[in-house]
Chain A
Amino acid sequence: MAPIARAADPRSIDVELYGVVRLRAGVDRVALPAGTLAEVLGALARRCPALAPELIRDGHASAHLLVALDGREVIDDPARPIAPGSCLVLTSAQAGG
């Protein structure tokens, strides 16, 4: 697999933002503490309030948000642990072109 960008702090995770998610958030990358997906998304929504509630609500990704673990596996289980050093790719769920 391609090398995955790592957060500077090995205990945290990288969140990469693309498309309208990036536009809303105003940043293209955020480092957050590792935890469950719900905990990570909750922390992201607090850091980037413009993502709530349309894209993130109560730590849950809405139907309009795609979350890919390490850019490879699309995940939506709020209880899914996100290990330190992982990367979450966030983008719009609509892929058509």
Chain B
Amino acid sequence: MSVGGYYGRLLHIWLSGQTATATLLPLERELLADFVGGVGLGAYLLWRFCPPGVDPLAPEAPLCVVLSPLLGTPLTTTAKFSVVCKSPLTGRINDGLSSSRFALAARRLGVDAVVIQGALARLSILHLDDVIARCRVEDGRALAGKTPAEVTAALAGAERRSVAAIGIAGERGVRYATISNDGRHAGRGGAGAVMGSKRLKAITVRGGQSPGIADRARVTQRARSLAAASVGASTEKYRVLGTAANLETFDRLRILPVRNFQDVSIGRAKARRLAPEGLAQAGAHVRESCAGCTIGCDHRYGGARIEYETQFALGPLIGVDDPKTLIAAARACDDLGLDTISAGGSLAFAMECAARGLVDWPLAFGDDPGPWLSRIARREGAGDLLAEGTRLAARAIGQGSDRFACHVKGLELPGYEPRAMQTMALGLAVAARGADHNRSGAYQADLKAGVDRYRADVERAPLRVIDTEDHAALYDSLILCKFLRGAIAEPWGEGAELLEMVTGIARDGGTLRAAIRRIIATRHLFNLREGWTLAEDTLPPRFTEEPLGDGARLSRRDLDAMVAGYHAARGHDARGHMPELLQRELGLMRWLER
């Protein structure tokens, strides 16, 4: 079998003055096999290039754009890339995924990853080509304040370059600023602020390379069958309605976070207004898809992409029940380059502070968030504090506000009520990048038969969380869209087979699972190096001291017991540290000791 899937090198770029110095560095094939790609390879690169203890917004802090072996093949949903950095919001590992044409164009650069360090003297554009001599910096000051869409329109040009850009939030260092491409975002944890700290308004890519495919005939055949499976009943929700269908259901199941997690339902009529049918009445509905995707989950209303997380965070979480207001707020976040979950979470926190009289800001639950989103992105007035995120805002406001500052490790919570989903409560508490629904899909366990989601199952919840973390890391390293999960019966064997037919590296499901465990361990080791302690794996007092209106409660003792069980099941010691023996078993010493 021939070799494919990887180029075996990364492009390292050091920014200084108004110059980018590019260097090609080798990536051993064994290393690539051990860390797969995507967030997995990104975890390794962050460990390798991030100086311990560095300020995430310092020039030395790396911004890693990481590709994956399946990218560029005909396999559906593989047009994805990851962005990995140390989060300015959490101080811990941060990885985001984004999709579509930028990923495909970056694949043709002839490298498996781009690692950017340093900073430029003024706002600039970094142009990358597959000929390194053409890596160049262009003055970008004329694009200051422009939206990512405007920047893309300005830079794509006749060469049809693909563009990833930040909005004004990234320029101003908002700790939850996004990086945007093709209308999509590497959204969580503030990668846009890291890019802005390097004075990079945009990165454009164009190339003509290909790493090849080891067994093209098998890949073509599998691509056909996977595409067929991807349009079955398992993805019908995503195709027909999108994830926005969750809101009304979650309201009925009483797991919808409302007014900064003070309630779990907005009532049937209001939920119906915010459901896809209601959104379609408020703004013209268009369905789109990422490049090379056969699912097509991207539902836009009035020009704004509305996914469940955006819908909950800019809707019920801040008391908004008008679909037009919600759509406008989503569009504003796209234009400003703000993570919708953290923006909504920070606003919800501020609204509760105002309601309690802790601040004299003129805002209340139900207000149009538009003006506040603008203030946050521009760091104007009180928006400057909210741009720091909920955790730092609570520290500044004090007066006990940390009790209802809804974050984990500094990252605002996604749209799942932990008191009514207690496996998810554990998943949120222990997630490496903070409150996270993408690197741990523990909500899936809570919505299965035989699981009492109102009870902390100290014995089984840790194993369920580990299982969902492992599966998420698999999909995010390959990279395949997780919306395919219902169409893939046995992801470990299937993943190993896909990798083998693309890369030529033979392995079985067990070997692949070991690689994924290695990746998750690397993320934890990075956090440990950056100061993580067991005390971070928790939820704020709102969730452990305040029962929901229907009586649902999560005890601190049970949460702590589940966290301890999680670390024990991961093979960690009582402090959550990783014994050296485990590191050796996972084959980490040879890579991480360098």
Residues of A within 8 A of B (CB): 1-2, 16, 18-20, 23, 54-55, 62-64, 66, 68, 71-77, 89, 91-97
In the assembly, what is the distance between CA of A66 and CA of B234, in Å?
12
A20 to B449, Cβ gap below 8 A? no
Most buried by A among B235, B246, B307, B450: B246
Pick from B248, B265, B414, B452: contact of A19, CB below 8 A.
Answer: B248
A97 to B234, Cβ gap below 8 A? no
Interface size on B, residues (CB 8 A): 40
What B residues does A71 contact at CB under 8 A? Answer: 252-254
In the assembly, what is the distance between CA of A94 and CA of B448, in Å?
11
Most buried by B among A2, A62, A76: A2
B447 to A18, Cβ gap below 8 A? no
* B451 proximal to A (CB < 8 A): yes
5 nearest A-B residue pairs (beta carbon): A97-B308, A97-B243, A76-B449, A19-B245, A54-B233
Given A89-B252, A96-B482 in contact, is the A74-B451 Cβ separation under 8 Å?
yes
B483 to A92, Cβ gap below 8 A? no
A18 to B482, Cβ gap below 8 A? no
* B35 proximal to A (CB < 8 A): no
Pick from B243, B448, B482: contact of A74, CB below 8 A.
Answer: B448
What B residues does A94 contact at CB under 8 A? Answer: 234-235, 237-238, 483, 486
Question: Of all chain A residues, which has the CB nearest B482?
Answer: A96
What A residues does B451 contact at CB under 8 A? Answer: 74
Residues of B within 8 A of A (CB): 232-238, 240-241, 243, 245-246, 248-249, 252-254, 265, 307-309, 414-415, 437, 441, 443-444, 447-454, 482-483, 486, 550-551
Question: Of all chain A residues, which has the CB nearest B237?
Answer: A92
What A residues does B308 contact at CB under 8 A? Answer: 97
What B residues does A92 contact at CB under 8 A? Answer: 236-237, 245, 249
B550 to A1, Cβ gap below 8 A? yes
B550 to A19, Cβ gap below 8 A? no
A26 to chain B, nearest CB (A): 13
A64 to chain B, nearest CB (A): 4
A97 to B253, Cβ gap below 8 A? no
B236 to A64, Cβ gap below 8 A? yes
12 A-B Cβ contacts within 8 A? A1-B550, A19-B249, A23-B241, A62-B233, A64-B233, A64-B234, A66-B447, A74-B449, A74-B451, A94-B238, A97-B246, A97-B414
Given A18-B248, A91-B249, A97-B437 in contact, is the A63-B243 Cβ separation under 8 Å?
no
What B residues does A19 contact at CB under 8 A? Answer: 237, 241, 245, 248-249
In the assembly, what is the distance between CA of A66 and CA of B245, in Å?
14
A96 to B265, Cβ gap below 8 A? no
What A residues does B447 contact at CB under 8 A? Answer: 66, 74, 93, 95
What A residues does B450 contact at CB under 8 A? Answer: 74
A95 to chain B, nearest CB (A): 5
Q: A18-B249, A96-B437 are in contact. List 9 more A-B contacts (CB 8 A).
A: A20-B236, A66-B447, A72-B454, A74-B448, A89-B249, A89-B253, A94-B234, A94-B235, A95-B447
A96 to B449, Cβ gap below 8 A? no
A65 to chain B, nearest CB (A): 9
What A residues does B237 contact at CB under 8 A? Answer: 19-20, 92, 94
Question: Of all chain A residues, which has the CB nearest B247?
Answer: A97
What B residues does A73 contact at CB under 8 A? Answer: 452
Given A23-B241, A74-B447 in contact, is the A96-B550 Cβ separation under 8 Å?
no
What B residues does A54 contact at CB under 8 A? Answer: 232-233, 236
What A residues does B235 contact at CB under 8 A? Answer: 94
In the assembly, what is the distance between CA of A44 and CA of B451, in Å?
25
Question: Of all chain B residues, which has the CB nearest A77?
Answer: B449
A55 to B253, Cβ gap below 8 A? no
In the assembly, what is the distance between CA of A72 and CA of B453, in Å?
8
A2 to B234, Cβ gap below 8 A? no
A63 to B234, Cβ gap below 8 A? yes
What A residues does B246 contact at CB under 8 A? Answer: 95, 97
In the assembly, what is the distance between CA of A74 and CA of B265, in Å?
19
In the assembly, what is the distance between CA of A76 and CA of B452, in Å?
13
A90 to chain B, nearest CB (A): 10
Most buried by A among B233, B254, B443: B233
A2 to B249, Cβ gap below 8 A? no
In the assembly, what is the distance between CA of A74 and CA of B423, in Å?
14
B245 to A1, Cβ gap below 8 A? no
What B residues does A95 contact at CB under 8 A? Answer: 246, 443-444, 447
Question: Of all chain A residues, which has the CB nearest B232?
Answer: A54
What B residues does A96 contact at CB under 8 A? Answer: 243, 437, 441, 443-444, 482-483
B428 to chain A, nearest CB (A): 14
A18 to chain B, nearest CB (A): 5
In the assembly, what is the distance between CA of A18 and CA of B244, in Å?
12
In the assembly, what is the distance between CA of A1 and CA of B547, in Å?
12
What B residues does A2 contact at CB under 8 A? Answer: 254, 265, 550
In the assembly, what is the distance between CA of A89 and CA of B493, in Å?
34
A38 to chain B, nearest CB (A): 14
B254 to A63, Cβ gap below 8 A? no
Most buried by B among A16, A18, A62, A93: A18
In the assembly, what is the distance between CA of A63 and CA of B78, in Å?
24
In the assembly, what is the distance between CA of A81 and CA of B574, in Å?
44
In the assembly, what is the distance between CA of A72 and CA of B452, in Å?
9
B326 to chain A, nearest CB (A): 15
Most buried by B among A1, A19, A20, A97: A97
A58 to chain B, nearest CB (A): 16
B142 to chain A, nearest CB (A): 37
